[in-house]
Amino acid sequence: MHVKVYSSITDVAEAEWDSILERDATICSHAYLKAVEASEINDCVYRYPVVYDAQGQLIAHTCVFSITTDLALFARGATLALVHGIRRVFPGFLTIRMLECGTPVALGRQISLRRGTDVEQVLRVLVPAVEAVAQAARLNYLLFRDYLHEDSPTFAAFGTHGYSTLQNLPEAVLEIRWNSFDAYVADMRSSYRRKVRLNLARIADRQITSELLSDFSHLSGQFVAQWQTIYDNATEYKRETLTRAFYDNINAHLPNARALVFYEQGRLIAHCLLLFEDDVLRWMYVGKESTATEDLYPFMLYEIVRHAIEAKKRSIKLGITTYVAKTDLGAEMVPLFMYLKHRTRLFPRLAPWLFQKMTPLPELKTKSVFKHDADPIRAQTEPAAQT
């Protein structure tokens, strides 16, 4: 078993790369990574470690990228005020360049494995290869993300390589069990159902409509401007900076990408970027004109639910942040976990502690949205930290 690290996804044949992908793994696909690599997002530099067996057959792969990150990205209250105070004297305080496993524009575990492959053996060669990439780039922080609770037994071997287990912000996920949007709304308890109907009535009064586009190449310039509006006003999360090339490349390379666009009296006012996978609808990004009102956001969520039901998807992955609106839909907050390491002897324990202090986690609440709940995703207990 050996590893080869490629400097571009185009150096690996698409059919070979995609041959080991699982279902609903668009974010690990050759086409997706090609689109992201070509989009010049932030200051990212990508590498692609590929594991081969003794016969030269590809058995595992991933994408790693270096990016400048604000460790106080999710800090709040007094902690954030303290960071801002220190940055008046030391502007670069808690701003570091790190190596992450994944891509800057997607949530989800991105180590792909051929069925039947021994994960521990793969990590035995993959982790040193990734750390060699970090060493060559003089990066001390390494982060593997994002893993579900049920992944923990499979990837526990990260602990033997000196990685600590951290909890990331949870992902909002809605499990679909309805045959129509009307049935979905009817299944809600009265207070949630009333809210949906009031929001839909306001949208109708404003003559707001939506449309699902498979070709949105002619709108990429407008989309990135709308996304910028959201970015400039965001208070919960601001990291990756999208480009027009990102929308162009997603449209060009991913046939399962869609743009859900919104019009007010015929004028385009907002969009949502979606990926339709085998069983999953994945919400990627949202953008809106500065004149679009806040009550448009719930309507966006309703339309995403409507299209997921019509496409007979089993779940919708709604991403992180804005949990109140998403849990009002019936979404559950699913814990995500990461494996973090600092390569020096000084910070192996300090780095995970610092990351956790800078990332306050929301309470994992389960709302009783539906009259007939059917085994919703329940919050899992955080795995024991490994240091």
Q: Could you tell me the two tokens for 87?
A: 């940055």
| Same domain, residue pair 157 and 200 | no
CATH number of the domain at 25, please.
3.40.630.30
Domain-located, residue 146: yes
322-353, pLDDT tens digit by residue? 889 999 999 999 999 989 888 776 655 666 66
- Structural domain including 238 reads 173-333
**62 touches 25 (CB < 8 A):** no
The pLDDT value given to residue 101: 92
| Same domain, residue pair 342 and 204 | no
For 214-235, what is the mean pLDDT? 89
Q: What is the DSSP string of 214-269?
A: S--GGGHHHHHHHHHHHHHH-SS-------HHHHHHHHHH-TTEEEEEEEETTEEE
In the predicted structure, residue 220 carries a pLDDT above the cut 80: yes
The pLDDT value given to residue 381: 37
The pLDDT value given to residue 73: 62
In the predicted structure, residue 376 carries a pLDDT above the cut 50: no
Domain-located, residue 229: yes
| Same domain, residue pair 161 and 272 | no
- Biggest CA–CA distance in the chain, Å, is 65
In the predicted structure, residue 357 carries a pLDDT above the cut 90: no
Domain-located, residue 365: no
User: pLDDT grade, residue 55 (50/70/90)?
Assistant: very high
In the predicted structure, residue 379 carries a pLDDT above the cut 50: no
| Same domain, residue pair 214 and 155 | no
| Same domain, residue pair 255 and 226 | yes
Domain-located, residue 374: no
Q: Is the dihedral of CA 23, 25, 26, 30 positive or negative?
A: negative
Q: Could you tell me the two tokens for 263?
A: 């019009």
- The mean of the pLDDT values for the chain is 86
CA atoms within a 13 Å half-sphere pointing along the CA-CB vector of 378: 5
Domain-located, residue 378: no
| Same domain, residue pair 177 and 149 | no
| Same domain, residue pair 34 and 162 | yes
| Same domain, residue pair 180 and 241 | yes
Note the Cα 302 to chain centre separation in Å. 20
108-164, pLDDT tens digit by residue? 888 999 998 999 999 999 999 999 999 999 998 899 988 888 888 888 889 899 898
| Same domain, residue pair 190 and 47 | no
Burial code (b: 16+ CB inside 10 Å, e: under 16) for 355-371 equals: beebbeeeebeebebbe
161-172, pLDDT tens digit by residue? 989 888 888 999
Domain-located, residue 272: yes
| Same domain, residue pair 120 and 187 | no
Burial code (b: 16+ CB inside 10 Å, e: under 16) for 114-149 equals: beebebeebbeebbebbbebbeeeebbbbbbbbbbb
Tell me the percentage of the chain whose pLDDT exceeds 90.
58
| Same domain, residue pair 89 and 181 | no
**60 touches 54 (CB < 8 A):** no
The pLDDT value given to residue 104: 83
Length of the chain: 387
In the predicted structure, residue 235 carries a pLDDT above the cut 70: no
Residue with tokens 């019009």: 263
| Same domain, residue pair 223 and 197 | yes
The pLDDT value given to residue 250: 95
Domain-located, residue 14: yes
Q: How many domains does the chain have?
A: 2
User: pLDDT grade, residue 249 (50/70/90)?
Assistant: very high
Domain-located, residue 186: yes
The rounded distance, in Å, linking the Cα atoms of 204 and 28 is 39
